[in-house]
Amino acid sequence: MGMAVGPRVATILFDGDCGVCASWVRWLRARDGDHRFRYLPLRSEEGQALLDRFDLPRSPDSVVLLAHGTATLRSEAIAGILRNIPKWRWAGRLLALVPRSIRDLAYRIFARHRHRFASGNGGACALPEH
């Protein structure tokens, strides 16, 4: 279930308008020394084209991991990303042990309230709540 390691094995689509998401991407980039990931905002032209290509909603309330011709969302995407960060593989494996329904429920709850955790933009996320 893990991705092969090496340069640019995957693309991460993220909400570029959200302070929490932007912080998460900065954290990942700081730990992605082998440049395994390409980072694209969901709302960018290329991000929207990739969502269309993988038949995903044009504005998913989720991080999207595109790797090896497949797309994963929510907690599965987070686990896949962490499994490819050398010092954080353990966290991705541990997360994958939790049943997906529980992981995704926790993800959705966090995503719904992420504006409360945002910093750097007055504590507010630019996205409307769903």
Spatial distance between the Cα atoms of 108 and 3, rounded to a whole number of angstroms:
24
Residue 8: closest CA among 61, 66, 92: 66
Q: Which two tokens stand for residue 109?
A: 């709850």
Is residue 85 over pLDDT 70? Answer: yes
Domain enclosing residue 103, as ranges:
10-116
- Exposed/middle/buried for residue 130 (C-beta within 10 Å: 0-12, 13-18, 19+): exposed
Identify whether 89 is part of a domain: yes
In a domain, 20, yes or no: yes
Count Cβ atoms below 10 Å from residue 118 Cβ, excluding itself: 19
* Better pLDDT: 26 or 3: 26
Domains in the chain, number: 1
**Average pLDDT score over the chain:** 82
Q: Is residue 91 part of a domain?
A: yes
Which percentage of the chain shows pLDDT scores above 90?
51
* 76 token code pair: 């599965």
